[in-house]
Amino acid sequence: MPVIAVIDYDMGNLHSACKGLEKAGAETVVSDRHQDLLAADAVVLPGVGAFDPAMQHLRSRHLVSVIQDILASGKPFLGICLGLQILFDGSEEGTEPGLGIIPGLVKRFCPEPGITIPHMGWNQLQLTQPDLPLWQKLPMQPWVYFVHSYYVEPVDPQLKAATITHGSQTVTAAIANNNLTAVQFHPEKSADAGLQMLSNFVSQVKSKVLA
């Protein structure tokens, strides 16, 4: 059974993500201890809340270099919601520098008639990397659950793995690059499609462990 570490940095409920991973056949460890994260077969960086406090918590626990080392090691890594945004250089939400792993910025939705901010509820993904392991056994336009006022804009558009449309704006919903995948939506709240994604991630980890 693969061991997946879920990074604990006091930014949101981690246990719903753990339940989905465990249902898919993984053992989860919720921790901020460097040795736990480095020893795991894969790592999940979840998060709910604001950009600046998230980065302050990560820095206070000396987790920035650990996350960078994990990504450089090639082990599977999944970011969820705020765990996607803090991978970027910075955010219009605050002033703290992000992790700088993905070049680009986090931007606020532009207000326009007829749309709500935050973007909250179900929306359909447009898969721009349809062969991504996370999308296995999913329909071409799966419905997933969002709660966010900001979206990521990578410098390299080829990193976009999925987009959504909110009002007249088409924005990034997921990114992927080598062993790193990160999503703006909440798989653990996205019913069967979300559980399939978590199962796909666990299958990816199992394949890596057996390789």
Residue type, 198: L
Quick one: pLDDT at residue 197? Answer: 97
| Short-list 190, 132, 148, CA closest to 50 | 148
| Whether residue 186 lies in the annotated active site | yes
Alpha helices by DSSP H, 127-185: none
Quick one: pLDDT at residue 156? Answer: 98
Cα-Cα-Cα-Cα dihedral sign, residues 164, 166, 170, 173? negative
- What is 3-210's CATH number, 3.30.70.1380, 3.40.50.20, 3.40.50.1980, 3.40.50.880? 3.40.50.880
Q: What is the distance between the alpha carbons of residues 90 and 100, in angstroms, rounded to a whole number? A: 8
Element (H, E) at 209: helix 191-210
Residue with the two structure tokens 């056994």: 137
Pairing status of strand 102-108 against strand 150-154: antiparallel
Global pTM exceeds 0.85: yes
User: Tokens representing 56?
Assistant: 């302050």
Per-domain residue ranges for the chain?
Answer: 3-210
Please, what is the average pLDDT of the chain? Answer: 95
Q: What does the pLDDT look like over 87-111, one tens digit per residue?
A: 999 999 999 999 999 999 999 999 9
Query: Do the beta carbons of residue 98 and residue 90 sit within 8 Å?
Result: yes
Quick one: pLDDT at residue 102? Answer: 97
In DSSP terms, which residues pair with 108 in a beta bridge? 150
Residue type, 87: L
Quick one: pLDDT at residue 99? Answer: 97
Helix, strand, coil % over all residues of the chain, rounded to 5: 30, 30, 35
Backbone angles phi and psi of 8, in degrees to 5: -100, 110
Quick one: pLDDT at residue 41? Answer: 97
| pLDDT tens over the chain, length 211 residues | 899 999 999 887 788 889 989 998 999 999 999 999 999 999 999 999 999 999 999 999 999 999 999 999 999 999 999 999 999 999 999 999 999 999 999 999 999 998 899 999 999 999 999 999 999 999 999 999 999 999 999 999 999 999 999 999 999 999 999 999 999 999 999 999 999 999 999 999 998 887 6
Of 18, 57, 166, 188, which one is the catalytic site residue? 188
| Whether residue 148 lies in the annotated active site | no
Quick one: pLDDT at residue 11? Answer: 85
Residue type, 28: T
Q: What is the distance between the alpha carbons of residues 49 and 69, in angstroms, rounded to a whole number? A: 25
Quick one: pLDDT at residue 209? Answer: 81
Of 119, 148, 166, 186, which one is the catalytic site residue? 186
Of 18, 57, 81, 119, which one is the catalytic site residue? 81
DSSP character at residue 63? -
